[in-house]
Structure 1
Amino acid sequence: MNAVIIAVLVMLILSLLRVNVVFALISGALVGGLTGGLSLTNTIDVFSSGLGGSAEVALSYALLGGFAIAISKTGLPNVMVDYVLKIVGGNADDRRKSLSRALIVFSILLMACFSQNVIPIHIAFIPILIPPMLNVMNELKIDRRLIASVLTFGLTAPYILLPAGFGKIFHEILAENMGNSGLAINMADIPKAMLIPTAGLLLGLLVAIFFSYRKPKNYETINIASVEEKQDYSKIGIIFSLLAIVAALVVQLLLNSMIFGALAGIIVIYLSGSIKWKEADSLLTEGMKMMAYIGFVMLAAFGFADVLKATGDVDTLVTQAAGIIGGNKALAAALMLFVGLLVTMGIGSSFSTIPIIATIFVPLSLELGFSPMATIALVGTAAALGDAGSPASDSTLGPTAGLNADGQHNHIWDTCVPTFIHYNIPLLVFGWLAAIIL
């Protein structure tokens, strides 16, 4: 049997059995290498040499985690919460309640979107922003499945489409791995290719807001111990946190580096005095730990992909698949997206999925005659597919962590299932359309 298929199956089965994704990737690489005719020593050497491919990305994540914690300590997230609650508070009549609901939903959506591109702190804002708002959301009878859908949209759509912050990392990984797999692309083409798939996400968001979860839902109001302690903040701290965000963005754009962008933001916050020097090391270490897991998954995924390439079975699989499909691009696109859904659901990270699926999809797309833009759409959509609905994804774990602070939000049925329905299904459809149209 083909070594690529065996390796992916081993990785998926172990992931679905709740084995740690890093261990699942390493195990899949070992089984795939041995099945493909590589010796144990050769498999390990190839896997180890492949780890360097994502070292820059892993370091970017670690520093962004530190930047996120530093931002939270300035009190900026608390200012945002206080502002929203001040506007919402005291609204009694139905019209004002409706406006308050809209304000909360819009504020959460805006912050989620900003967390990927403008203020690249990923899910770090959720435990800070959401729990203090739960009681107000309870009074307004906002369905938390709606908030989970809003958060997940903001955590996925911006990085898929926009080449800034985490979007820059996603686009760089996409371009690098497609180039390594035989198709050099211009990064400027990625937003154009991903516009149609992102429109599918937007459609899912609108359906969730205006149809699926528009009806009121009752929750019990429970005091949350963690909400009682609030971070003190000063005007100087807030000003410097905003300057830090600007500095991070400017340096990132000028030097084309997320690493030095995050470092610039951290230095500005250091200079503000918002973080005491004696606390700085422990706080930044805490932030790095928060994002380190994603970095390790990505390291393992790059090694996994290199082992699959070294077996030589990728070319065999492409040739066999092209023969079965028989030149039917519509069928090929549907099958590739479905495979991408399965792989990403198992891994839980679109960033880590790209090295795996690009190895298979790019040669297959070239064999079948897909255009470069269509190939970008296929690989990018296939990578992003499982991110929204996977139980192991940050895009679902983050929202659940905030919304379940009082124990009234189920991870699978209140986050994963709603986001799978509203985002993965439209992504399948719109990603397929993009592959056919482009």
Structure 2
Amino acid sequence: MEWVVVVSVLVMTILSLLRVNVIIAIIAAALTAGLMAGLSLVDSIDLLVAGMGGQANTALSYILLGAFAVSISYTGITTILVNYLIRVLTGKKTMMLLAIAGVACLSQNLVPVHIAFIPILIPPLLKLFDNMRMDRRAVATALTFGLKAPYVMIPAGFGLIFHETIVSGMEENGVAITTGETALSMLIPGSGMIVGLFIAIFITYRKDRDAILGAGGTEATIIPSESTKVTFNKKHMLTIVAIVAALVVQIITGNLIAGALTGLVFMFLFLVVPFKKGDSIVSEGVGMMGTIAFVMLVASGFGNILKETGAVNALVEVSSGILGDNKAVIAFILLLVGLIVTLGIGSSFGTIPIIAALFVPICIAAGFSPLATAALIGTSGALGDAGSPASDSTLGPTSGLNADGKHNHIWDTCVPTFIHYNIPLFIFGWVAAIIL
């Protein structure tokens, strides 16, 4: 039973590397896990479908955030940002990449639209990337950094959800801790992501690289338009008000759906977006984010099979049986288990409750402090999110960078982000667990 998680994740990874569609790869991995656990094919499918509801909230929030992002784009305010980036940063690769990482960071804490901004902001810049011969793998790592690092280190916006999940997971298993303490515990692992970003930008992907048409395995889905001159006006001011309202509601309620709905309602009430455009705005939002939302649903079903069959528990029990009493060895093994589990589930938020229930008893027995335990749980949840074919942190960047069919999801997004973020996260998280 302990090999179910490992084998099923390998199936998903190998199929993805062979450029099999990510949804098919996840379904194949889920059915593999079910069959290895002794379930019939039909029972495996039933368990997969039953578990898809686990990410229904997230999937709906993504679609609504997609519609919100489309309505924001409709006003032309994103064109102002694109034109500014083109005017100021043309020919300045490093500054462009750092600016993209900075904009992505804002999407997690200040303007909580998560990945919904990427298909709006990135496609108009693709032609500029090609003219500058910029390596799109560097852009993917910059975007993924902005989608992960802020919530890993800062308990605000999406970060508040992440850290509260760690707190509740630990408290449910007998360890009291605050969000302030979890944020402190994650500073060291999060710093590893900063190191990974700098390595990607300044070393690995510094050289010129031409994007090849068809590398993404698809035809162009979005034709990047020529930039047009747009000046700041009253509609843009009201759009900013709607964005702030969405942020405030999301923070107060802790609910992404409520925040996205608030933003959409304000956009229509302010007549920034005409009521007659409602159908097209929502349809474009579904078109933009629907695939990603469905991948998250299927990944949740996969995670349900791993959990309900006891495969994850078996993996941890076998691991704990060979741990001994060496904290360094225990931390290393737990992080390795976290990496494997999160790669399979594809969601750090969805992984935390499972990992907390399994890790806390082991950490208590081994004498880890609450801060060290939080660092292990948080890092294990974050590990694998970057690099997983089923993660929104990789699906989001690909949705924008492959708009012209020149960017491959696995080789140009998943592999680069896996190398540059999982390795330093693992090392820095391991150090944090030992010294905290």
Root-mean-square deviation (CA), in Å?
3.7
Closer, same or farther in 2 for the Cα pair 1:305/1:231, shift >3 Å?
A: farther
Q: Which moved more, 1:393-402 or 1:260-269?
A: 393-402
* Counterpart amino acid of residue 349 in structure 2: F
Cα drift, residue 205 of structure 1: 0.9
Write the distance in 2 (CA, Å) between the matches of 1:22 and 1:34: 15
**Which of these two proteins has the greater Rg computed from alpha carbons?**
1
* Counterpart amino acid of residue 206 in structure 2: R
Write the distance in 2 (CA, Å) between the matches of 1:229 and 1:186: 49
Q: Which moved more, 1:248-257 or 1:325-334?
A: 248-257
Question: What does 1:56-135 correspond to in 2, within 5 Å?
Answer: 57=58, 59-88=60-89, 97=91, 100-135=92-127
Query: Counterpart in 2 of 1:378?
Result: 376
Question: What does 1:349-388 correspond to in 2, within 5 Å?
Answer: 349-388=347-386
Encode CA deviations 1:366-389: one digit per residue, 9 max, x unaligned.
222222211111111112111222
Query: Counterpart in 1 of 2:217?
Result: none
TM-score, normalising length: structure 2: 0.81
Closer, same or farther in 2 for the Cα pair 1:83/1:191, shift >3 Å?
A: same
Query: Counterpart in 2 of 1:93?
Result: none
TM-score, normalising length: structure 1: 0.81
Q: Does 1:434 align with 2:426?
A: no
Aligned partners of 1:322 and 1:367 also within 8 Å? no
Closer, same or farther in 2 for the Cα pair 1:428/1:20, shift >3 Å?
A: same
Q: Does 1:8 align with 2:5?
A: yes
Q: Does 1:153 align with 2:145?
A: yes
* Counterpart amino acid of residue 130 in structure 2: N
* Count of equivalent residues: 416
Question: What does 1:229-378 correspond to in 2, within 5 Å?
Answer: 235-284=233-282, 286-287=284-285, 290=290, 292-293=293-294, 296-297=297-298, 300=301, 303-304=304-305, 307=308, 314=313, 321-378=319-376
* Counterpart amino acid of residue 180 in structure 2: A
* Counterpart amino acid of residue 132 in structure 2: L
Gaps (5+ residues) in structure 1? Answer: 90-96
* Counterpart amino acid of residue 436 in structure 1: I
Q: Does 1:228 align with 2:225?
A: yes
Aligned partners of 2:152 and 2:190 also within 8 Å? yes
Aligned partners of 2:30 and 2:305 also within 8 Å? yes
* Counterpart amino acid of residue 386 in structure 2: A
Query: Counterpart in 1 of 2:400?
Result: 402
Encode CA deviations 1:38-78: one digit per residue, 9 max, x unaligned.
xx8xxx89x96x88876655554444333233323222222
Q: Which moved more, 1:154-163 or 1:209-218?
A: 209-218
Write the distance in 2 (CA, Å) between the matches of 1:71 and 1:395: 21
Closer, same or farther in 2 for the Cα pair 1:369/1:286, shift >3 Å?
A: farther
Encode CA deviations 1:259-305: one digit per residue, 9 max, x unaligned.
33222222211112232323324533553553633662575477557
Aligned partners of 1:123 and 1:398 also within 8 Å? yes
Which of 204, 219, 230 is matched with 1:212 structurally?
204
Closer, same or farther in 2 for the Cα pair 1:7/1:256, shift >3 Å?
A: same
Write the distance in 2 (CA, Å) between the matches of 1:305 and 1:275: 44
SS in 2 for 1:398: helix
Write the distance in 2 (CA, Å) between the matches of 1:22 and 1:221: 29
Closer, same or farther in 2 for the Cα pair 1:232/1:272, shift >3 Å?
A: farther
Gaps (5+ residues) in structure 2? Answer: 16-21, 215-219
